[in-house]
Amino acid sequence: MEAPTKNPAAADADASNRGTAPVIPFDSARLDKLMDDAGIDALLVTSKHNVQYLLGGYRFFFFDYMDAIGISRYLPVFVYTKGSPDRSAYIANTMEAYEKELNRFWVPSVKTASWGTLDATRLAVEHLRCLGRPVKRIGVETAFLPADAYMALRDAMPDSEIVDALVPLERLRARKTPQELQLLREASDRVIDSMLAVLDAHGPGTTKRQLVEALRREETARGLAFEYCLVTVGTSHNRAASDQRWEEGEILSLDSGGNYKGYIGDLCRMGIMGEPDRELENLLDEVEEVQQTARRPIRPGALGNEIFAAVAPLLERSAHRAYTSFVAHGMGIISHEAPRLTSKGPVPYPGDDADRPLESGMVVSIETTMLHPRRGFIKLEDTVAVTETGHEAFGDVGRGWNGGNVGGRASA
Amino acid sequence: MEAPTKNPAAADADASNRGTAPVIPFDSARLDKLMDDAGIDALLVTSKHNVQYLLGGYRFFFFDYMDAIGISRYLPVFVYTKGSPDRSAYIANTMEAYEKELNRFWVPSVKTASWGTLDATRLAVEHLRCLGRPVKRIGVETAFLPADAYMALRDAMPDSEIVDALVPLERLRARKTPQELQLLREASDRVIDSMLAVLDAHGPGTTKRQLVEALRREETARGLAFEYCLVTVGTSHNRAASDQRWEEGEILSLDSGGNYKGYIGDLCRMGIMGEPDRELENLLDEVEEVQQTARRPIRPGALGNEIFAAVAPLLERSAHRAYTSFVAHGMGIISHEAPRLTSKGPVPYPGDDADRPLESGMVVSIETTMLHPRRGFIKLEDTVAVTETGHEAFGDVGRGWNGGNVGGRASA
């Protein structure tokens, strides 16, 4: 598999589309091969993450937040036919005409004319028909294509079979380019900076809700779109925002996702309001040892399984094994993506990647969680990229017990 | 139609679910009647806005931002059967167990066990089957039910007809409670405060992109989830964020949506870097006159059409009629909702509300837009609630030419 050289994440696409022949921002030969393997002739891509990728990092503001609009829903559609990237189309909302005017699309055909699912589908079908070729199998993302759009597509293309295209699209994205890696590095750094700023600014008596809101502000101030924050304080294992207070002497965990230009920073760090005792030091050391052991085998050619094999002895001999868990999974544009390393993840995957070699440019999230019955929730989560020669961890600071502002006020 | 007395937007639901009989946070008798009219026996509600409403204002963090997870998508499902609100169920993500532990659900049955669309659908079907009654027609939201979930539902319930339930669910939400109105008032106030803070802090040379990012920070600092900002500067009509600068003497428009606890503030205000000349004063005065005239007829019993009739003569005799447009539409949890007042909106609606009387608690967004060919984009957008005796505008300040910080720096 050749190294990815295209740039699917141009930070500023303003300059694109000014030449004559379109510059395709992803590896279209690879996509064609993946479609061939899956027997797919054309793609109607409707998930925001895959549309972003195929448009070279483009994100309309609806990609971040909004969905519902009028009596329907915003539905961006990228239409691709195998072997003809230059005949791709993007079906966009009417308001995306402002983006088109600024030359933000590499795609030859951009139709900024839809408001909902059905008009977007109709425009996509029109484009497919204009190509004048038979389309035996249309690949869609069945979890990201609304039911009404699916039915409209089926009715409009009765001679085509509609199949799921999750696997080829995910495989296309599995290796990140240097530009994508830089965005992931930035995302991780900014999430960690935000966490440390929150801990530094808050004193005893701050509620979990206040901590989450403070992290939202800190991430936003650093140019991230805040996605979520799971938080525990004291000996509780409950990770929801609430009025529970972080009191003197208590530990804290912050597990947050922040999105930088479409790429995710997702890390977990620990804090304490005061000084950790010996037992807490030892517990976090043990979690840290699992995390460091897990990243050690990571390099091109290693199997995903080697990560699990490396940590297994540690976990087996741990006094805390009954309540300590470990997981590793690919991440990037979304929080769990290829490589699919484990069936312990949220959902089983048709093509498990644990027996396949890791490749440079892949990015793995590594998590060790200890649900200590007496001391509380202790976890580290890291983002580790496969480099040409080994690995690199992003946002790799603040890994010990980070102190809260013991002399500070409850809420800053 | 009786006044809404239930509270679908309890700001803090922590105390709920502690008693014995569940307190239903919406008007279930009204929902039953709407379902009866539509011939629907059970509902599988999957849009975040309607799930929020039926759960009494509950929002999991995935409601704000995330969707894609693992190889599928987050899919909350609220299951309701006509006449039996006490047999409702909520199918939630595994991580929502933390919320359940904090008693945040009024629903008797909460299953925090899903990761994607298919397992969520299977759990919803199981619940329907356990009720042991024939379900002739199942109402779903076809734009918010993924294709794979739709197919799974159809296969699991072959004897049931699956129909769209948009209209009954939207009608259920059309009249806001005092608590909902307060959230909308807060959302509007905070959006306007944020806009004025941005104008106050930025000097000549600030780019549109910097203005949008500053507004994102200001809204976030005020507890809003920033949804979007459309922005123009100078004589351009382009509303996308870009590197275009707001220079001395130039006008600006800010049109932003910010979400407060699930309710939208969506307003547009004007700014100028310096002092407006007489022509600009007159142009904004004309837009303001249309806006004030539009709200005048608003009271319970007035028809939606009266709003349009009131402004028609103004628009007709305007020297700027060729490039001035007016629209009014319901808003609340989403940016265009019932009452549906105009077919000029983004999409036609099966049941146009313009010929029906307005009712207290309804909320209308009113927009007048002048695309002046020489002076630029001039617009005001307001949020007006129907009160018992007339109307009330939310966030009703900053309606003139708001000055930028002429002596200030380009970016704060």
Look at residue A5 and tell me whether its pLDDT is greater than 90: no
d(CA B365, CA B332): 9
Q: Which of A213, A172, A179 is nearest to A82 (CA)?
A: A172
pLDDT of res. A228: 95
**Which residues of chain B neighbour A52 with C-beta distances below 8 Å?**
none
| Coil vs helix vs strand at A354 | coil
Token pair listed for B4: 């809404």
Q: Within a 10 A sphere around the Cβ of B409, how many other Cβ atoms?
A: 12
**Closest approach of A330 to chain B, Cα-based (Å):** 10
Candidates B71, B95, B229, B371: best to mutate against A (most CBs of A within 10 A) is B71
Q: A68: Cβ–Cβ under 8 A, 6 or more apart, which residues?
A: A74, B47, B48, B49, B144, B334, B335
For residue B11, what pLDDT band results from cuts at 50, 70 and 90? very low
DSSP class of B337: B
Q: Say if CB B349 and CB B342 are below 8 A apart.
A: no
DSSP class of B177: P
Quick check: B140 and A147 CB within 8 A?
yes
Quick check: A142 and B164 CB within 8 A?
no
Q: A109: Cβ–Cβ under 8 A, 6 or more apart, which residues?
A: A87, A88, A89, A90, A127
Q: pLDDT for A72-94, tens place per residue?
A: 899 999 999 999 999 999 999 99
pTM: 0.93
pLDDT of res. B2: 34
For residue B72, the surrounding DSSP H or E stretch is strand B72-73
d(CA B122, CA B99): 22
pLDDT of res. B241: 97
Candidates A103, A115, A148, A237: best to mutate against B (most CBs of B within 10 A) is A148
**B151, B166, B242 ranked by CB distance to A71: nearest:** B166
Q: pLDDT for A100-145, tens place per residue?
A: 999 999 999 999 999 999 999 999 999 999 988 889 999 999 999 9
Residue B221: closest CA among chain A residues belongs to which residue? A217
d(CA B135, CA B366): 41
- Cα–Cα distance list, A330 to A2, A303, A315, B211 (Å): 19, 13, 21, 35
CA A353 to chain centre: 17
**A49, A101, A220 ranked by CB distance to B220: nearest:** A220
Look at residue B19 and tell me whether its pLDDT is greater than 60: no
Averaged over B206-216, what is the pLDDT? 97
- Give the type of residue at B139: G
Averaged over B337-355, what is the pLDDT? 71
Quick check: A61 and B335 CB within 8 A?
no
For residue B14, what pLDDT band results from cuts at 50, 70 and 90? very low
pLDDT of res. A352: 77
CA B221 to chain centre: 20
- Cα–Cα distance list, A68 to A63, B46, B333, B337, B343 (Å): 12, 12, 9, 10, 18
Quick check: B148 and A142 CB within 8 A?
yes
Q: Is the dihedral of CA B329, B334, B338, B344 positive or negative?
A: positive
**A143, A149, A350 ranked by CB distance to B73: nearest:** A143
| Coil vs helix vs strand at B64 | coil
**A116, A228, A350 ranked by CB distance to B61: nearest:** A228
**A147, A257, A334 ranked by CB distance to B145: nearest:** A147
Residue A114: closest CA among chain B residues belongs to which residue? B346
First to last CA, chain B: 51
Q: B126: Cβ–Cβ under 8 A, 6 or more apart, which residues?
A: none
Q: Say if CB A24 and CB A108 are below 8 A apart.
A: no
| Coil vs helix vs strand at A83 | coil
Q: Say if CB B91 and CB B124 are below 8 A apart.
A: yes
Q: Is the dihedral of CA A192, A194, A195, A201 positive or negative?
A: positive
**DSSP E strands, B148-210:** 161-164, 206-207
Quick check: A346 and B69 CB within 8 A?
yes
Residue A237: closest CA among chain B residues belongs to which residue? B98
Encode burial over A334-345: b for 16+ CB neighbours within 10 A, e otherwise: bbbbbbbbbeeb
Token pair listed for B42: 């059970």
- Cα–Cα distance list, B88 to B36, B54, B78 (Å): 17, 10, 7
Averaged over B366-393, what is the pLDDT? 98
Q: pLDDT for A366-381, tens place per residue?
A: 999 999 999 999 999 9
Beta bridge partners of B114: B93
Rama region for A45: left / alpha / beta (φ>0; ψ in -120 to 50; rest): beta
For residue A204, what pLDDT band results from cuts at 50, 70 and 90? very high
d(CA A212, CA A224): 14
**CB-defined contacts A:B, below 8 A:** 178
Q: Within a 10 A sphere around the Cβ of A322, how many other Cβ atoms?
A: 8
Q: Which of B224, B164, B134 is nearest to B350 (CA)?
A: B164
Averaged over A152-176, what is the pLDDT? 96
Q: pLDDT for B259-294, tens place per residue?
A: 999 999 999 999 999 999 999 999 999 999 999 999
Averaged over A160-172, what is the pLDDT? 95
pLDDT of res. A35: 98
Encode burial over A24-49: b for 16+ CB neighbours within 10 A, e otherwise: bbbbbebbbbbbeebebbbbbbbbbb
**DSSP E strands, A75-147:** 77-81, 89-93, 109-114, 137-140
Residue A219: closest CA among chain B residues belongs to which residue? B217
Lowest mean pLDDT among A7-21, A83-97, A302-316, B263-277: A7-21
Q: Using a pLDDT cut of 90, give the percent of chain A over it.
A: 84
Q: Within a 10 A sphere around the Cβ of B196, how many other Cβ atoms?
A: 18
Q: Are strands A324-330 and A77-81 parallel, antiparallel or unpaired?
A: unpaired
pLDDT of res. B347: 53
Q: Which of A56, A314, A24, A329 is nearest to A180 (CA)?
A: A56
- Give the type of residue at B55: L
**A166, A213, A223 ranked by CB distance to B71: nearest:** A166
Q: Say if CB B176 and CB B381 are below 8 A apart.
A: no
Q: Are strands B363-372 and B324-330 parallel, antiparallel or unpaired?
A: antiparallel
